[in-house]
Structure 1
Amino acid sequence: MDFSVVHLDLGKEYRGGQRQVFYLLSSQLERGIKVALAARKNSFLLLKVQEELPQVPVLALGGGEFNWLSAFKLASWIKKNNCTFLHTHEARAVGLSFWVKKLYPQIRLIHTRRVSYPFRNWWSKKKYTLAEAWVGVSKEICAYLKQQGLPASRIFSIPSALELKRYPLRQKELSSPVILGIIGALSSQKGHELVLPYLKHLPFAYRLLIVGEGELRPRLEAQVRLLGLEEQVRFLGFRESNKILPKLDVLLVPSKDGEGSSGTIKEAWASKVPVIASDLRANLELIEPGVNGLIFKLSQPETLVEELVKLIEDDDLYFRLTQTGFKEVLNFQVDKMEAKYFQLYTYLLAEG
């Protein structure tokens, strides 16, 4: 079945969502699908695709969902190349695609939503309405889209994936001091501020590596100084997670809201690093407590300390979580994600 897909992402940064776009482009190329990328000019994703996937056509766009020049440019490019699908991957791309669809109604729209935040206003909901299909990376996101009145028969759950070979295995005994890590953007929803005060109560020596950048960094650094944790907590800035995870003894995922299908949890599983996560619904879709990870209660953040102590003091539990997590991550490989998207494309084409 012959068709082509244009992937649209307007993010400047290279976070989990952009990595998923890159994975999808790479795997669809291997299948022989005609793919292209429309992305923000000079964005990390666009430059990475140009360097590592030079056979993929790229279209550089201005930023923003109300950039009429970009909408016209993309619609004209899609029409000229007779593209079948426009597949968006983040909120600004959804907005721009709304105007592209108005300009070129023949294009079939697919929106992948990676966050569980509610729609903020009428426009954040309205811009989703012109699609032929919607994908949520978690069951929670799919349920929310249905609650918003989008047709349930057009909503599909396809979790995000990872490339297992990128992640070296943790190959060491438990460190002394114990090395803890939090990996992700330094933003309020990630929960750093919530758990830092309780780490003072750990009964064992530790180091906490905070990996990532964001607007919250100055406030977090001030909080660390106020708590007197300068010796225990280190801010590493942005680092590739596969370079950090093998050095950790435990990954903490204290997210408060907004998570879709946590890539960081899966990455830790791939490196055989045990995970302790908050009891967000999205995290509970992945983690079965005591089997492939541990869970603490956001309403009782002190339970993080209890779970950490239990993990560090129980060698059998520690080993079991790493082994079960590694088996679990085999369900989230890139080829499985690509196959599900291929099924979705062909299903929509079969409808005519």
Structure 2
Amino acid sequence: MRVLHIDTGLEWRGGQRQALTLHKGLLSHNIESLFLGNQAGELHQLCKNNHEEKYAGFAFNGELSLTTHHEIQNIVKEFKPTIIHCHDSHSAKLGSRFHKSCTIFHTRRVSYPIKFLSRYFKYKNIDAHVCVSEDIRNYMKQHFSNTFTIHSCVDIKRFDRVVNKTIFDKNGDINIVYVGAFSNQKGVDVLIKAFSNLAKKYNNIVLHLIGNGELLQPMKTLAKALEIDHNIVFYGARKDVEDFYLNSDYVVCPSVSGEGSSGVIKEGMAAGKIVITSDLTANKELIDDGINGVMFKTGDSNALTMSLTKVINKEIVIDHQKIKEKVSLFDCSNTIEQYITLYKKISNK
């Protein structure tokens, strides 16, 4: 088995972490694996800085670029993969051109609908669509027969570390953490509005927001308009998110749409924290409400206020052993084994 991974993403986000983790996991199982990343992306710089094994960058100039196609074609000729694993929609187009000589895998990480023409032209030569949640798979099954679910993973060992207890710029008696992009689907405004209600109830409560994106400045403006900017710290994008989780009292995932299999929920649980999350269908695959976490009605800031209030006041008590048991199901060692099994199953057909 020889696996070629292709990822065209520019940002270092959850999908890139998952793809690289799989690649490194295959190497640890003595499976030949080569990772191709967009040389204009953050993943490329990270891999170069860390001298990642079996990694190469390529110039992504678009799905229809002949120079990009020829560059990948030359790598395919040299590496001779039996499997090409496409980790985003652009790479699905690039990789599927080699379907006659390779088995083509595509990982679907988001729940957005696929455009009509893409179903027939971009994805028609995919041998296996791997979905990171049952929610996504239920959609994909409407259009493709070859669908499978392997949840995205969390490396639990990342949170077994000496904690930097000075990570917060402002430490409260109650510390709530959000990690993620500042984009419409993430629902940061819902969290800030809920927090404005909490700030009236509790002294010395602080909201820590880690991430970046197009809505960063509008969210700062919202916090100021609600007169709670002195209780909120905006950190921007950080590489040391583990310490933020570990120092938190609660982790909130307020996403309103598009969630595949939330890395934030799994990371929060891996840190042993109570996660309060919106009740999107995909999130329900990770959180059993009132057992290993707490859910609130998606998009409803008042419902989030109520859920956080009940948790803070100990009206809802979560057994931390249940958190540990649930997150262990999504440890990366399990995910890598599932991929290896599926690779063998599909490529041997």
TM norm. shorter chain > 0.5: yes
For residues 185-334 of structure 1, the aligned pairs below 5 Å read 185-202=181-198, 203-205=201-203, 206-240=205-239, 241-298=241-298, 300-314=300-314, 317-318=317-318, 320=319, 322-334=320-332
* Equivalent residue in structure 1 for 2:125, among 127, 130, 135: 130
2:253 corresponds to which letter in structure 1?
A: V
Cα deviation 1:293-323 (Å, max 9, x = unaligned): 00000253311111111111118714x1x33
Instruction: Name the counterpart of 1:40.
Output: 38
Task: Give the deviation of 1:57 after TM superposition.
Answer: 4.3
1:114 corresponds to which letter in structure 2?
A: R
TM-score of the two chains, using structure 1 as the length reference = 0.90
Task: Give the deviation of 1:264 after TM superposition.
Answer: 0.7
**Structure 2, unaligned runs of 5 or more:** 166-170
Q: Is the 8 A contact 1:9 1:39 kept in 2?
A: yes
Instruction: Name the counterpart of 1:166.
Output: 158
Task: Give the deviation of 1:169 after TM superposition.
Answer: 7.3
For residues 12-51 of structure 1, the aligned pairs below 5 Å read 12-51=10-49
In structure 2, the residue corresponding to 1:94 is in which secondary structure?
helix
Larger CA deviation: 302-311 vs 115-124 = 115-124
Instruction: Name the counterpart of 2:89.
Output: 91
Distance 1:26 1:58, change over 3 A: same
Task: Give the deviation of 1:223 after TM superposition.
Answer: 1.0
Task: Give the deviation of 1:107 after TM superposition.
Answer: 2.0
Q: Is the 8 A contact 1:5 1:84 kept in 2?
A: yes
Q: Is the 8 A contact 1:170 1:273 kept in 2?
A: no
Instruction: Name the counterpart of 1:349.
Output: 347
2:296 corresponds to which letter in structure 1?
A: F
- Distance in 1 (CA, whole Å) between partners of 2:333 and 2:184 is 33
2:155 corresponds to which letter in structure 1?
A: E
- Distance in 2 (CA, whole Å) between partners of 1:283 and 1:316 is 19
Task: Give the deviation of 1:45 after TM superposition.
Answer: 1.9
Moved over 6 A (4+): 169-172
**Structure 1, unaligned runs of 5 or more:** none
Instruction: Name the counterpart of 2:114.
Output: 119
Distance 1:63 1:220, change over 3 A: farther
Distance 1:232 1:121, change over 3 A: farther
In structure 2, the residue corresponding to 1:8 is in which secondary structure?
strand
Aligned length: 339
Larger CA deviation: 161-170 vs 230-239 = 161-170
